[in-house]
Chains A and B, each alone.
Chain A
Amino acid sequence: MRSRISLLVSAFLILGIHACNLNKSCDKHTKFPVETGFYNSLSLSLRDTILQDITLYGIGREDSLLYNDIDTNRLNYRLSPFSDTTKIVLHAFSKVDTLTFYYNRHLELVSQACGFAMFFDIKEINFTKNFIDSLFLIDHLLDANKTEHLQVFVH
Chain B
Amino acid sequence: MQIKQNIFRFLFINILLCVSFTSTGQADSTKRVGGLSFGIDLSRFLVSIWEPVNLNMEFQVSMEAGTNFSLIAEGGWLTSNISEETYDYELKGSYYRLGGLFNVLKREPNELSAINIGLLYGFSPYWHKADHIQIKDNYWGEGSGSLPINNLFSHWIELNAGIRVEIFKNWLIGWKIRTKIRLSRNEDPIMTPYLTPGFGKGDKNFSLGMSYYLVYRIPYKKRK
Contacts and interface: CB of A to CB of B under 8 A. Distances in A.
A12 B43 CA distance: 10
Contacts of B174: 8
Interface string B190-208: 1110100000000100000
B139 A78 contact: yes
B139 A61 contact: yes
A112 B214 CA distance: 31
Contact of B139 (A1, A5, A66, A119): A66
Contact of A16 (B46, B82, B87, B194): B46
B165 interface: yes
B21 interface: no
Interface in A89-126: 104, 106-109, 112, 115-116, 118-119
Contact of A112 (B43, B52, B212): B52
A11 B177 CA distance: 11
Interface in A1-49: 1, 4-5, 7-8, 11-12, 15-16, 19-22, 31
Contact of A5 (B84, B130, B147, B165): B165
B143 A82 contact: yes
B50 A116 contact: no
B203 A12 contact: no
Given A12-B212, A61-B139, A82-B140, A107 B84 contact: no
A80 B140 CA distance: 6
A40 B214 CA distance: 67
Q: Interface SS of chain A: helix, strand, loop or mixed? A: mixed
B84 A115 contact: yes
B25 interface: no
Nearest to B42: A12
B218 interface: no
Given A8-B174, A106-B191, A108-B192, A61 B46 contact: no
Contact of A106 (B49, B84, B137, B192): B192
B98 interface: no
A21 to B, nearest CB: 5
B50 A109 contact: no
A85 to B, nearest CB: 12
Given A16-B46, A19-B50, A81 B191 contact: no
B199 to A, nearest CB: 16
A20 B210 CA distance: 12
B133 A116 contact: yes
Contacts of A61: 139-140
Contacts of B140: 58, 61, 78, 80-82
Interface of A: 1, 4-5, 7-8, 11-12, 15-16, 19-22, 31, 58, 61, 64, 66, 77-78, 80-82, 104, 106-109, 112, 115-116, 118-119
For the complex of A and B, 8 pairs with smallest distance between CB atoms: A109-B194, A108-B192, A107-B191, A112-B52, A80-B140, A21-B50, A4-B165, A115-B86
7 contacts: A12-B212, A106-B189, A107-B133, A108-B191, A109-B87, A109-B130, A115-B87
